[in-house]
């Protein structure tokens, strides 16, 4: 094949796989896709064997896969609660393993957790699981040198939904009881492919199984389960990334969530991945994840040195 044709094919593949990205930021500062990654030296780490994070009387025993950075000194480190996707009824923490390693190498204590699946366990069971995981992290803060004021939530698809829903709860929310409270507060969120408003879906199988009824049957539950409808000025900063060609979770879930965050005065950034759908946005996430890490560095005042 002629060299020129090979180069043309390579360029086409690059555009199809990598696409382009555009940023928006609620604070008005420019966020350019070609800024380039910040160089941060990688921390060594160790991976612990999976261990239960739920109390003995929990309806189902659930495990977390924990990654600990081996950073010197006694300083407290930020932590990340990782939550996988799968339509609230499948997949597992292994989907988030590469992201877990990326975060632990940046100095985060990472808990990559499992949660209960629908339809056997319906909303808000999965939120309760994350609230239990947060309480568990607080209990181990001294042993693992966690700064409990700098715990972030990171998820994709239904996992993004759950961490964003966790983040939008406050003392006045009915979902903050009986398992929430002060230990359930996140400092920031990274949410990819976020289904932000469940009332936007046309009674699809996955959402109906998660809620346990249609929109007509359970409108209040759909609203309570929608992070976009729970945003307040107390919501922590959100970094949103989304495939602009996503047919499963249309891009207006991200743009509408971004608009609601901006209206509430919440720091937020929207990273749109052009030419990518729901799956490809996750598989080709590296640029978005690097931008998300820079966002967290800024809003958590993280200055790793090791």
- Per the CB < 8 A criterion, the answer to whether 162 and 130 are in contact is yes
Q: Which of 266, 268, 264 is nearest to 241 (CA)?
A: 268
Bridge-based pairing of strands 45-47 and 51-52 is unpaired
- Domain limits, the chain: 22-299
DSSP structure string for 234-277: TSPPEEEEEETT-SSS-THHHHHHHHHHHHTT--EEEEEETT--
Q: Which CATH class is domain 22-299?
A: alpha beta
> Mean pLDDT score of the chain, rounded to an integer?
88
The pLDDT value recorded for residue 71 is 87
Q: What is the mean pLDDT of residues 117-130?
A: 98
Percent of the chain clearing pLDDT 70 (strictly above)? 85
Q: What is the mean pLDDT of residues 128-155?
A: 98
The pLDDT value recorded for residue 20 is 42
- Alpha-carbon distance values, 221 to 21, 175, 208, 294 (Å): 34, 11, 11, 35
pLDDT tens-digit readout, 150-206 = 999 999 999 999 999 999 999 999 999 999 999 999 999 999 999 999 999 999 999
Please give the backbone phi and psi of residue 94, each rounded to the nearest 5 degrees, phi first. -60, -25
CB neighbour list of residue 99: distance below 8 Å, 6 or more residues apart: 82, 154, 285, 289
How does residue 306 score in pLDDT terms, banded at 50, 70 and 90?
A: very low
**pLDDT exceeds cutoff 70 at 1:** no
Q: Average the pLDDT over each of 15-24, 147-156, 161-170, 241-250 and give the range with the smallest value.
A: 15-24
DSSP structure string for 74-108: S--EEEEEEE--STTSS--GGGGHHHHHHHHTTT-
Q: Between vectors from CA 306 to CA 44 and to CA 78, what angle results, nearest 5°?
A: 75
> Measured between alpha carbons, how far is 51 from 53 in angstroms, rounded to an integer?
6
The pLDDT value recorded for residue 37 is 38
The pLDDT value recorded for residue 22 is 54
The pLDDT value recorded for residue 29 is 37
For the chain, the straight-line distance linking the first and the last C-alpha, in angstroms and rounded, comes to 48
The pLDDT value recorded for residue 42 is 77
The pLDDT value recorded for residue 43 is 77
């Amino acid at each position: 094949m002629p060299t020129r044709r090979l180069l043309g094919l390579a360029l086409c593949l690059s555009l199809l796989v990598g696409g382009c990205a555009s940023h928006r930021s609620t604070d008005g500062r420019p966020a350019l896709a070609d800024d380039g990654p910040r160089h941060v030296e990688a921390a060594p780490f160790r991976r612990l064997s999976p261990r239960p994070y739920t109390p003995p009387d929990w309806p189902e025993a659930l495990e977390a896969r924990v990654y600990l950075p081996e950073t010197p000194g006694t300083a407290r480190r930020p932590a990340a609660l990782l939550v996988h996707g799968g339509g609230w009824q499948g997949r597992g923490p292994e989907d988030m393993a590469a992201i877990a390693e990326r975060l632990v190498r940046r100095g985060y204590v990472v808990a990559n957790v499992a949660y209960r699946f629908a339809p056997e366990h319906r909303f808000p069971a999965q939120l309760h699981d994350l609230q239990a995981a947060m309480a568990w992290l607080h209990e181990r803060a001294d042993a693992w040198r966690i700064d409990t004021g700098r715990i972030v939530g990171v998820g994709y698809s239904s996992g993004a939904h759950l961490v964003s829903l966790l983040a939008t709860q406050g003392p006045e929310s009915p979902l903050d009881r009986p398992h929430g409270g002060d230990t359930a507060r996140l400092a920031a969120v990274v949410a990819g492919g976020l289904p932000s408003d469940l009332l936007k879906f046309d009674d699809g199988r996955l959402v109906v199984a998660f809620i346990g009824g249609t929109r007509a049957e359970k409108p209040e539950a759909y609203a309570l389960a929608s992070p976009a409808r729970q945003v307040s000025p107390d919501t922590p900063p959100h970094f949103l990334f989304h495939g602009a060609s996503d047919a499963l979770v249309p891009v207006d879930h991200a743009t509408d969530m971004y608009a609601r965050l901006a209206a509430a005065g919440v720091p937020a950034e929207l990273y749109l991945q052009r030419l990518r759908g729901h799956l490809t946005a996750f598989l080709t996430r590296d640029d978005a994840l690097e931008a998300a890490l820079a966002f967290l560095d800024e809003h958590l005042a993280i200055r790793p040195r090791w």
